[in-house]
Amino acid sequence: MCGIVGIIDQKPVAKNIVSALKCLEYRGYDSAGIATLDKGHLECIRATGKLINLEKKLKKYSLPGTIGIGHTRWATHGEPSEQNAHPHTTEKVAVVHNGIIENFKELREMLNKKGYTTTTQTDTEVIAKLLTLYLDNNLSMKEALETTLKSLQGAFALAIISPMDLDKIYFARKGSPLVIGIGENSNYIASDAIALASYTHQVIYPEEGDWGYITQKNYQIFNKDNKVTKHPIHTLNLSTQTASKGAYRHFMEKEIFEQSTVLNETLSSYLTPEKNELSLPKFIFDKNKLNRLTIIACGTSYYAACIAKYWIEKYAKIPVEVDIASEFRYRQPALGSAENHACLFISQSGETIDTLEALRYVKAKGLPTISIVNVTHSSISRETDSMWPTFAGPEIGVASTKAFSCQLMTLACFTLGLAKTKINQKEFSDLLESLKSISMWLEKMPNLRQECLTAARTLAKATDVLYLGRGTNFPMALEGALKLKEISYIHAEAYAAGEMKHGPIALIDALTPIVALAPNDNLIEKTISNLQEASARGGKIISLGDAESLKKLETISIHTIEIPTVPTFIQPFILTLPMQLLAYETALLKGTDVDQPRNLAKSVTVE
């Protein structure tokens, strides 16, 4: 969470820092700030709320400096006030920080005793004060940073400027993402390369514990042992267009409708050039010996994992456990051996700290690790033994849409790779063909938008909504409820439809709409019985199904949303679209901030 940027150029940098921060606003948006150095003067402007407020302030007070740092915040310590906003400054430094300094209380006590009084509720302020303490003790800026880093526990990506060292931006990273951008007569740092797409495509990814500085024409990186280190320069294929909404009203809307394209791209990357055979990364375990797979993820990625459990157990016959990363890493899970047990980590951002730490836990136990990530240079992708990319492209809307469906596509290919020798050739070919047909089906739902809007009018009036489904439709229901909660702020819960009678049925009343994920499958009759039980108790049912299942549900549904009849294996891909649109249209009716919903941030780099 939080986005940081640093730019050194020949010309004033404030405007470009704001533009870069705009691309990072998905990481947090409760306050923002910029500090620049101009002829030895440190100047800082901060504002609460979104970047637009900072921009308004910058129109009144210009910052002419050619060296600057900026920050967009997702509050961890202290309310989102101007005082707690970054950069945190003293006369000698300005600091922006992404992460959490876990020992900030001890440091604050020590600093206060020495007369370096802190005035904010943040953990970051101690970094500015520590640096100042060491600068006051006549250390150089480089020495002050080296010494400060030794005292910091927790996670951080830092950018620092100082009037004591006029031509540099210092940086450090441990546990939070950071990228260095190499320009022609300018250099950059940022939390995510996407923020630099307008300025450079040449980037370096510092490793854990690295620190150093950039100047206008150069840079220097030190490793955690303070030795000079070098890393390769990557040329990224980042389009500045990815950060634009085009003709769409919201990034989320654009990303929902991009799905048929990016699903095709993701599938194509796992097919031979002729597109008739799977062409997968090599499995890093012996498929014949593997008898246990644990999939670990958070949020939407976790729900993608839950769907994959159904697929892998059914087709590849390998027992699968799915774990929430924040639970897995602290419950001392009993693991198998490196020969029979592998762990798969799913993360759009590749930086989610809970997932990353769970990965490190598993690696320390010596098990093979695989990741499915959208950001291919992310920490999770770099630290796993094998990485299976998704090709969703940058996802800016905070609520995940296209990244989720591309995770499903990669998981479907992973499943087929495991299942190849376990199912007959005909079944295998049918499954593969069905994956190839997804994009075509997604384009064939002409009434979908209108049907979702009509149903959304009912949802927008509700304070609670239930989502029900069986089989893979159960984790799909969980994901549907999460989407609705996140962007419309309506309380939504999902249950396995068959579980209702064991308690949740007590929740049913005429005011609580029920979204039923009910396409025709081998469980449809049982799902219909569960929905009838709900309807008999006054439940108002919104049915998502195909022509055949909707016919059966007609009498008990207040709205129907029709999807095409497709093989069960690919139903989750097709249901994704109405589920996301239902949440989107509801949020529009409620007038919420769809792309940047309250309290959320996209890349969750705190525990």
Residue type at position 53? N
The answer to whether the beta carbons of residues 86 and 154 sit under 8 Å apart is: no
The answer to whether the beta carbons of residues 497 and 530 sit under 8 Å apart is: yes
The 3-state DSSP class for residue 33 equals strand
Q: Which is nearer to ligand F6R, 19 or 348 (CB)?
A: 348
Given CA atoms 44, 49, 55, 57 in this order, what sign does their dihedral have? negative
Among residues 429, 447, 467, 477, the alpha carbon closest in space to that of 564 is found at 447
Among residues 338, 348, 349, 345, the alpha carbon closest in space to that of 324 is found at 345
Q: Which is nearer to ligand F6R, 152 or 452 (CB)?
A: 452
How far, in Å, CA of 598 to CA of 346, rounded? 25
Burial of 383 (0-12, 13-18, 19+ CB in 10 A): middle
Q: Across-strand partners of 89?
A: 94
Among residues 157, 121, 171, the alpha carbon closest in space to that of 605 is found at 157
Q: Across-strand partners of 468?
A: 495, 516
22, 168, 174, 602: which is the annotated catalytic residue?
A: 602
Active site residue 602: yes
Q: Which is nearer to ligand F6R, 381 or 400 (CB)?
A: 400
Q: Which is nearer to ligand F6R, 306 or 523 (CB)?
A: 306
Q: Which helix (DSSP H) or strand (DSSP E) does residue 189 occupy?
A: strand 187-190
Say how many C-beta atoms besides its own lie within 10 A of residue 493's C-beta.
17
The answer to whether the beta carbons of residues 607 and 326 sit under 8 Å apart is: yes
**Tokens standing for 550?**
């909707």
Q: Which is nearer to ligand F6R, 157 or 161 (CB)?
A: 157
In the complex, least distance from residue 355 CB atom to ligand F6R, rounded to whole angstroms: 5
In the complex, least distance from residue 324 CB atom to ligand F6R, rounded to whole angstroms: 10
Q: Which residue is nearest to ligand F6R (CB)?
A: 299
Q: Count how many residues are written for the chain.
A: 607
In the complex, least distance from residue 588 CB atom to ligand F6R, rounded to whole angstroms: 17
In the complex, least distance from residue 563 CB atom to ligand F6R, rounded to whole angstroms: 21
In the complex, least distance from residue 404 CB atom to ligand F6R, rounded to whole angstroms: 7
In the complex, least distance from residue 486 CB atom to ligand F6R, rounded to whole angstroms: 6
How far, in Å, CA of 45 to CA of 30, rounded? 15
In the complex, least distance from residue 125 CB atom to ligand F6R, rounded to whole angstroms: 27
2, 44, 343, 452: which is the annotated catalytic residue?
A: 2
The answer to whether the beta carbons of residues 223 and 207 sit under 8 Å apart is: yes
How far, in Å, CA of 299 to CA of 482, rounded? 8
Active site residue 39: no
What residue ranges bind ligand F6R (CB under 6 A)? 298-301, 347-349, 352, 355, 399-400, 482, 486, 604
Q: Which is nearer to ligand F6R, 299 or 394 (CB)?
A: 299
In the complex, least distance from residue 458 CB atom to ligand F6R, rounded to whole angstroms: 23
Burial of 422 (0-12, 13-18, 19+ CB in 10 A): middle
The 3-state DSSP class for residue 297 equals strand
Q: Which is nearer to ligand F6R, 134 or 361 (CB)?
A: 361
**Tokens standing for 513?**
């709409």
The 3-state DSSP class for residue 558 equals strand
Q: Which is nearer to ligand F6R, 400 or 405 (CB)?
A: 400
Catalytic residues: 2, 602
